[in-house]
Amino acid sequence: MGVYINMKMPTSCDDCRLNNGISCYAVPEYTEDGVVGRTDDRPNWCPLVPVPPHGDLIDREPFIQFIKTHWDSYDQWFVDQLEARPTIIPAEEGET
């Protein structure tokens, strides 16, 4: 399951709220040269990813099914437009 934290993307472990000075709460098992979660820049093993600017996030599939089920006549163009919208945060395994 993903966790979304409202914070500015850190530029290094020292700049990150998930770093306690000794370890990284995001990747507690990671060790580099005997030091856990400490780097001067954002390391390649960092699991944090930025969420791009977006509007409200909805699950479009249930809405499309609702339209198809409850509207006697629906415009396929409308459904096509919903399906074409970009995915901001992808579904996780088992959540589709």
pTM for the model: 0.55
Q: In whole angstroms, what is the distance from residue 25 CA to residue 16 CA?
A: 10
pLDDT in tens, 9-68: 998 888 888 887 777 888 767 655 555 555 678 888 888 888 888 888 888 888 888 888
Helices within 52-96 (DSSP H only):
60-70, 76-84
Provide the token pair at 64: 């499309």
Tell me, what amino acid is at 78? Answer: F
The 10 Å Cβ neighbour count of residue 88 is 13
Domain extents in the chain: 1-50, 53-96
